[in-house]
Structure 1
Amino acid sequence: MKKYLILGTALAGLTGAASAQQVNVVSWGGAYSASQVEAYNKPFTEATGITVNMIDSDDPAIPLKAQVEAGNVTADVFDLDHAGAVRMCDEGAAIQIDAADLPAAPDGTAAVDDFIPGALTDCAVGNIVWGTVIAYDTTKFPDGAPQTAADFFDTAQFPGKRGLPPSAKRTLSLALVADGVAPDQVLETLATPEGVDRAFAKLDTIKRDIVWWEAGAQPPQLLADGEVTMTTVYNGRIFDAIVAEGKPFGIIWDGQYMEMNLFVIAEGAPNPEQALEYVKFATDTQQLAEQARYISYGPTRKSSLPLVGTYKDDKTQMADHMPNSEQHMAGAVMDDPEFWADHDIELTERLRSWLSQN
């Protein structure tokens, strides 16, 4: 009997007459949505008979907000970034989800104690964590590869252009870690004028060597084309380049900026009961671990990490590629939506001003 059938009791009310039932899920497309289809949707349909319709969006918070404001909600579950989930809940676009309704861990640990900090909010349930990391071209450093965030800013020992996004939270945070600020003190430091000045002073040291990127597909291409020797990049993107495409790239986890995606259910969802059962099923311990077979994003449950196995190639051990694995957490800066709600506008304006100066 397959693992996901342990939820049979909870799903019994939906099974049987489920053939005409469905749930509509809005996610981000590409390899990410594909991983959800394999890890969540197919087994959910097999266990319940409920059809899952996937809908792609560049940012699922946008159609969620538009549908709720128009009073014409056509989708049920939306996969949002952390800030978007908090914002949609505050605006009344997402319904509340009681953590007590979520399945416990296999050892009986309640969901509220099993999910990592920040993964459960009033209206959202976390599914993945992902990081913005540093990647480098291994062929460019025959005398020794870079290993730390500080090395990213050392163009004397590690020559070449650097790729960065014009993102205040990711770029300023990396600058502070490189300048010696402990990862758990980065946001506290950025909350002070002195800390902001310190971050920009560090960026000044490589300003003439920066190549700015906007879309997630750009950094691996910048490395492949030789336009940069090091760049920040989403960890899933660089994993694909290394494992799936065989590119000679390496990853530095020090100074990674770790973020989270969460599921919400729309206010006025056409299939609210099926939507809740889908969220409960998808964020079960086993299903979150199963997603890591298809993409290198970490599960939000503590009980899921020990169950992470190999990539779909049946040889690459995915535990080594999880952003929230123990060995990668020491140098990680964790995203804080509340902090950025207070500081994003001012720090983004400061970054734009800095970019416009010679």
Structure 2
Amino acid sequence: LATTQGVDRAFRKLSQLRPYITWWSTPAEAASILEHGQVLMSSAPGDAVRTIAPARRDTIGVNADMALSYGLSWGVVAGQSAEQLGQSRNLLHFIIQPDRQAAFLGLYPASVPDPGHQGRVLPVDVQFWQTHYAALSRRFDTWLRNAT
């Protein structure tokens, strides 16, 4: 995608796949599409999948073996008052505690890896997307309007 030829190749592939793609805009719409069996395969937020009725959810396979990684981190902004700095440090200390991490994983069980199976983590090139997002987004929007 960093070259004109790469972008052209990617959009040719999208055009080939277009008849088989069902687009969704909200997590609720993704869940509805899955629940009604309107697709063979999808990507959907785990929370949306958990809202599907249990009887129907049992017919949907979930694979959480792959994840995108883009190295987010927390930071404290310089120039805060002593009180704000203390609150910021307290928050950072709080969220890294093992019990808080366990509580988070309890709320989002799809994020818990299977200890017997190593999932695949795909790195996201944040600098690439900062540079190319606007142009690629415009091209995608044009492609999407013309593809329907």
TM class by smaller structure = 0.7 to 0.9
Q: What residue in structure 2 maps to residue 228 of structure 1? A: 39
Alpha-carbon deviation of 1:261? 5.3
Offset from partner CA, 1:221-253 (integer Å, 9 cap, x none): 211123333222124433x247x8451211345
Q: What residue in structure 2 maps to residue 201 of structure 1? A: 12
**Please, which runs of 5 or more residues in structure 2 have no aligned partner?**
none
| Structure with greater proportional strand content | 1
2:132 matched to 1:319?
no
**What code does the residue aligned with 1:222 have?**
I
* Matched residue SS, 1:233: coil
* Matched residue SS, 2:106: coil
Using structure 1 for the length normalisation, give the TM-score: 0.34
Q: C-alpha distance in 2, partners of 1:245/1:264?
A: 40
Change (3 A) 1:327 1:261: same
**Please, which runs of 5 or more residues in structure 1 have no aligned partner?**
1-189, 299-317
Q: Is the 8 A contact 2:65 2:113 kept in 1?
A: no
* Matched residue SS, 2:42: strand
Q: C-alpha distance in 2, partners of 1:278/1:290?
A: 15
1:301-340 residue pairs with structure 2 within 5 A? 318-320=112-114, 327-329=118-120, 332-340=121-129
* Matched residue SS, 1:249: coil
Q: C-alpha distance in 2, partners of 1:213/1:230?
A: 13
Change (3 A) 1:294 1:254: closer
Change (3 A) 1:192 1:236: farther
Offset from partner CA, 1:16-37 (integer Å, 9 cap, x none): xxxxxxxxxxxxxxxxxxxxxx
Change (3 A) 1:345 1:230: same
Q: C-alpha distance in 1, partners of 2:64/2:86?
A: 40
| Structure with greater proportional helix content | 2
**What code does the residue aligned with 1:327 have?**
Q
Identical-residue share of aligned pairs (%)? 25
* Matched residue SS, 1:293: helix
* Residue in structure 1 matching 2:60, options 249, 257, 260: 249
Q: What residue in structure 2 maps to residue 274 of structure 1? A: 87
Offset from partner CA, 1:70-120 (integer Å, 9 cap, x none): xxxxxxxxxxxxxxxxxxxxxxxxxxxxxxxxxxxxxxxxxxxxxxxxxxx
* Matched residue SS, 1:348: helix
Offset from partner CA, 1:168-227 (integer Å, 9 cap, x none): xxxxxxxxxxxxxxxxxxxxxx22223222222221222123222222332122111233
1:43-122 residue pairs with structure 2 within 5 A? none
* Matched residue SS, 1:333: strand
**What code does the residue aligned with 2:119 have?**
H
| RMSD between aligned residues | 3.2
Using structure 2 for the length normalisation, give the TM-score: 0.73
Q: What residue in structure 2 maps to residue 14 of structure 1? A: none
Change (3 A) 1:260 1:241: farther
Count of aligned pairs between the two proteins: 143
